[in-house]
Amino acid sequence: MKLTCTSRELHPRRAFRISRARKTEVRNVFIRLESDGVVGYGEASPNAFYDETWSGVMAKLESAREFFQTLEVHSVADIETAWKEAWRFLAPSHAAQCALDIALWDWLARKKGVTVSELAWNEPPRPVITFATIGLSSSEELIEKVEELRGFARIKIKSDQAASLDPVRFVRERSPALLAVDANCAWGKIDLAKLSRELAQLGVTFIEQPWLPARDTELPKLELPVMADESCVTEENAAQLPDAFDGFNIKLVKCGGITPGRRMVATGKARGKKMMVGCMLESSALIAAGAVVAQRTDYADLDGAWLLGDDPFRGWKFDRGVLLPSTASGLGVEPEEGLFNGAAASSR
């Protein structure tokens, strides 16, 4: 297979703030696999919290040059084997593994003339209702964002160390949407039991990652369900997640792609956990891959491409919080012209 790699700086339409970071740009890695006249696309959105960088991902993919040159894929079983064998070269980068895995799913589905959803689940993709995320905001920003989300069915509100109820109350007074609140580990000094009761009174459906993973075993049962994010990186984490968590967030760039994502869905169902597919700031390529796994989860938080002002892929349409599937084969995405021009390539 011929591999082409490139990186691209992407910019959210507004600065995106969570409890530990403020982002005005990210640099994601994009790959193109070609064999037998068919191409497949993949993406990684590296995040420093997980010790991932775009340059590190590029280096890992380059180190697997010989592996790509001999890679042949004819079935889903071949993708699963490739996912496992590639780890010899790509470890410890799950982001690099994600880019490879997604490209292989896209390539094989295009080769067979079907969608990735049909390849993964034996049925065509359905629309996906997704959360739209409101990052940490000033009062003026919050007014603007809530107005933009008028008519959306699901809204996630980011929180910080202060755990203020004001943004939640403001959104609830103006929207009937299903609400979730995500602390990104920031509530380490907060009375969780009290806060959970207060959020429940405001009609919040669940809270996400209240504190750091190091304190997982201390997590009590709360008034509201608790979803793990930073505490659930890999499929092994999903299997071992403490019972106090009611569910977990599957992010393909954390776990390594669609292949482990499917297994995490099976684990979650076996354990009776709620599941959500999440994202970073990502193009429509990685969002489309997430939407494949979201065909089997309770929730989706796949607004990463919608938040961007310069998405380099065309893919699933985003219509007021609903991702509408493409009818094209593969992931249903195509890159903008020139994305891979001048990029490094290896082939057999």
Q: Is 310 annotated as a binding residue?
A: no
Structure tokens at 262: 């499917």
| Helix (H) / strand (E) containing 155 | strand 154-158
Q: Is 208 annotated as a binding residue?
A: yes
**153-156, long-range: CB < 8 A, 24+ apart:** 153/129, 153/177, 153/178, 153/321, 153/322, 154/129, 154/130, 154/178, 154/179, 154/180, 154/299, 154/321, 155/131, 155/179, 155/180, 156/131, 156/132, 156/180, 156/181, 156/182, 156/208, 156/301
- Show which residues are catalytic: 158, 251
CA distances from 128 to 38, 180, 265 (A): 27, 17, 16
b/e sequence 57-96, b meaning 16+ C-beta within 10 Å: bbebbeebeebbeebebeebeebbebbeebbebbeebbbb
**How are beta strands 299-300 and 274-277 bridged, if at all?**
parallel
> For 236, phi and psi rounded to 5 degrees?
-65, -40
Q: Is 182 annotated as a binding residue?
A: yes
Q: Is there a contact between 303 and 291 (Cβ–Cβ < 8 Å)?
A: no
Q: Residue ranges for the binding site?
A: 182, 208, 229
Q: Residue ranges for the binding site for Mg(2+)?
A: 182, 208, 229
